[in-house]
């Protein structure tokens, strides 16, 4: 067990490699002791950057001319004493400083995510906020950054905690009723349940779940699958969108047998475009498997881009393969002079029509990942738990027996508590914190 340990941890908190500045963070009960190991005799003022020459204690050799910051616990990120060493960002300096730290009594290198884990244990942040922090660090697009920052600032936690509190208050009242009913003066039929309030919460949860997966789409990226017959130019389009040779283009039909993904940033949203095997009847088992994967990719996709060849309108895949509202794209417009079909016309070869296609994709992506002020579901973990809470609440609303009703309600409170980390969290911690890297 790492948590609650009395060990002091340290790690490089900036990326490895050369840089102008490298920050090594030290956190734990003995954090300030590391200063003596660098021949620093006076503790810097809290939260004031103090320029100091760090020296190797055993021989007085200077290691670096650095800035030191001291954040006394409990008012620090981890809740413990923290020393930050802002060094010049060279590998030899970082190594020398880490060497000295490793020799300090009770010090060890931090595990991935351990700083945030300690912040959680010391009540500085809850689990949903910790997940917001890892998402913020990982954010690659504007929409991901905005969403993660909102989660880190606690708006999602406040929503879940609000529900949990209202249910817990109701549970307390019902349990009180149960205590009194032992004395035989309470109506058996009256469980004391505030049905309006419980139905209200149930509806709020259902609305939160039924949001078109907006938060998850922003976090994970909008999935676009390109499907169509072999040789219509799917791989060429993927490469044109990626502006690099991501997929193999050839005039041999059936070349793409596995899905190829590229990541794009369209209008500030993360988008993953998948090139799939061409759809056709095939005897080749590998190609058949490729086709099966294409259909699976289309089924999972948020947007299905169906590609046909300009001048051959009959060659479009059948609607069963792409469901709802596909984006129809006709390729090879440079080859044909025939009548312009409905849909977007492009030439993946010359680049004609690609800007219009990107524009249309951006519009669709934006409407799927529409940002709202209300906190949104961002992870499958939360979706599973809220779904379970709604099932429990439905049981609560149907239950006539006070004892069982209290059981269901208690389960709903526990499920919500698990999301934010207020109960039963041990088993969840490894899953959540393994996404962090060392030094976070
Ligand atoms: P896929 O099998 O659907 O992935 O198709 P590819 O991207 O591999 O392309 C099949 C062939 O069509 C290749 O020889 C490409 O060079 C050619 N091709 C793709 N797009 C165009 C286009 O817009 N115009 C022309 N003239 N040829 C294209």
Handedness of CA 250, 254, 258, 259 (dihedral sign): positive
Query: Atom of ligand 1 at shortest distance to CA of 251?
Result: 14
Query: Atom of ligand 1 at shortest distance to CA of 248?
Result: 8
Torsion, Cα 240 261 378 205, to 10 degrees, reads 100
Going by the DSSP 8-state scheme, the letter that residue 372 receives in this structure is -
Task: Report the pLDDT value the prediction gives residue 296, as an integer from 0 to 100.
Answer: 82
Task: Report the pLDDT value the prediction gives residue 433, as an integer from 0 to 100.
Answer: 61
pTM of the model: 0.72
HSE-CB at 276 with a 13 A cutoff on CA atoms is: 33
Q: At what angle do helices 155-181 and 402-420 cross, to 10 degrees?
A: 160
Residue 415, helix vs strand vs coil: helix
Which of 233, 279, 317 best tests ligand 1's pocket when mutated (most atoms within 8 Å of CB)?
Answer: 233
**Residue of 408, 429, 418, 371 whose CA lies nearest to 171:** 408
Q: Residues 164-199: pLDDT tens digits?
A: 989 988 888 888 777 666 555 545 456 778 889 999
Buried b (16+ CB within 10 A) or exposed e, 9-21: bbbbbbeeeeeee
Task: Find where tokens 């139905």 sit.
Answer: 199
Task: Report the pLDDT value the prediction gives residue 2, as an integer from 0 to 100.
Answer: 45
Task: Record the tokens describing residue 39, joined without a space.
Answer: 């021949």
What is the C-alpha end-to-end distance of the chain, expressed in Å? 18
Can you list the positions of beta strands (E) in 289-339? 303-309, 327-331
Task: Report the pLDDT value the prediction gives residue 427, as an integer from 0 to 100.
Answer: 43
CA separation for the pair 340, 270 (Å, rounded): 32
CA separation for the pair 73, 284 (Å, rounded): 65
Atom 24 in ligand 1: residue holding the nearest Cα: 332
* Ligand 1 centroid, distance to 307 Cα (angstroms): 11
Return all residues near 168 (Cβ < 8 A) that are at least 6 apart. 413
Q: Residues 198-230: pLDDT tens digits?
A: 999 999 999 999 887 888 888 888 999 998 888
Q: How far is residue 198 from each of residues 188, 239, 299, 397, measured CA to CA in Å?
A: 20, 52, 36, 8
Return all residues near 215 (Cβ < 8 A) that are at least 6 apart. 147, 376, 377, 378
- Answer for the pair 114, 405: CB distance below 8 angstroms, yes or no: no
- Answer for the pair 175, 421: CB distance below 8 angstroms, yes or no: no
* Ligand 1 centroid, distance to 347 Cα (angstroms): 9
Peptide bond between residue 294 and the one before it cis (omega within 30 degrees of 0): no
HSE-CB at 215 with a 13 A cutoff on CA atoms is: 24
**Helices assigned H by DSSP within 26-152:** 34-37, 91-102, 114-121, 127-138, 142-152
Residues (pLDDT < 70) of the chain are 1-5, 179-190, 248, 250-258, 314-315, 317-324, 371-372, 422-438, 440
Return all residues near 378 (Cβ < 8 A) that are at least 6 apart. 131, 135, 147, 148, 151, 156, 215, 216, 218, 219
Q: How far is residue 425 from each of residues 58, 120, 300, 417, measured CA to CA in Å?
A: 44, 11, 31, 9
Query: Which residue ranges have their beta carbon within 6 Å of ligand 1?
Result: 230-236, 249-251, 255-256, 278, 331-332, 334-335, 347-349
Query: Atom of ligand 1 at shortest distance to CA of 236?
Result: 7
Domains of the chain, earliest start first: 8-124 (3.30.1360.120), 129-212+376-433 (1.20.120.430), 222-368 (3.40.50.300)
Beta-bridge partners for 89: 19
Atom 14 in ligand 1: residue holding the nearest Cα: 251
């Amino acid at each position: 067990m790492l948590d609650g340990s009395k060990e002091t941890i340290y790690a490089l908190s900036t990326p490895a490699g050369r840089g102008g500045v490298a920050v090594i963070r030290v956190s734990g009960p003995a954090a300030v002791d590391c200063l003596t190991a660098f021949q620093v005799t006076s503790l810097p003022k809290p939260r004031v950057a103090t320029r100091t020459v760090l020296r190797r204690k055993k021989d007085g050799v200077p290691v670096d001319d650095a800035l030191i910051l001291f954040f006394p616990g409990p008012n620090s990120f981890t809740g413990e004493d923290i020393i930050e060493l802002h060094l010049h960002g060279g590998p030899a300096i970082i190594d020398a400083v880490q060497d000295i730290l490793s020799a300090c009594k009770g010090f060890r290198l931090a595990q991935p995510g351990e700083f945030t884990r300690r912040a959680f244990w010391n009540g500085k942040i809850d689990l949903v906020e910790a997940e917001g922090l890892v998402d913020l660090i990982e954010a690659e697009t504007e929409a991901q950054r905005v969403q993660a920052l909102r989660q880190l600032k606690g708006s999602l936690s406040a929503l879940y905690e609000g529900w949990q509190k209202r249910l817990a208050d109701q549970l307390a009242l019902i349990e009180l009723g149960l205590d009194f009913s032992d004395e035989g003066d309470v109506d058996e039929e009256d469980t004391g349940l505030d049905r309006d309030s419980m139905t209200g919460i149930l509806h709020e949860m259902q609305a939160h779940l039924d949001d078109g997966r907006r938060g998850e789409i922003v976090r994970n990226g909008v999935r676009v699958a390109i499907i169509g017959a072999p040789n219509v130019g799917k791989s060429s389009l993927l490469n044109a969108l990626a502006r690099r040779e991501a997929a193999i283009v050839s005039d041999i039909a059936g070349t793409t047998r596995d899905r190829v993904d590229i990541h794009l940033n369209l209008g500030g949203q993360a988008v993953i475009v998948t090139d799939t095997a061409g759809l056709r009847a095939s005897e080749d088992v590998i190609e058949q498997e490729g086709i099966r994967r294409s259909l699976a990719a289309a089924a999972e996709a948020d947007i299905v881009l169906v590609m046909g060849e300009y001048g051959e309108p009959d060659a479009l895949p059948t609607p069963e393969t792409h469901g709802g509202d596909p984006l129809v794209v006709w390729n090879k417009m440079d080859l044909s002079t025939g009548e312009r079909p409905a849909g977007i016309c492009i030439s993946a070869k010359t680049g004609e029509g690609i800007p219009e296609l990107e524009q249309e994709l951006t519009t669709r992506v934006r409407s799927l990942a529409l940002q709202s002020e209300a906190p949104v579901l961002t992870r499958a973990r939360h979706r599973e738990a809220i779904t379970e809470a709604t099932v429990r609440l439905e049981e609560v609303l149907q239950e006539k027996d006070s004892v069982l009703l209290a059981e269901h309600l208690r389960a709903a409170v526990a499920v919500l508590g698990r999301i934010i980390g207020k109960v039963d969290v041990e088993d969840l911690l490894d899953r959540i914190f393994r996404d962090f890297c060392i030094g976070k």
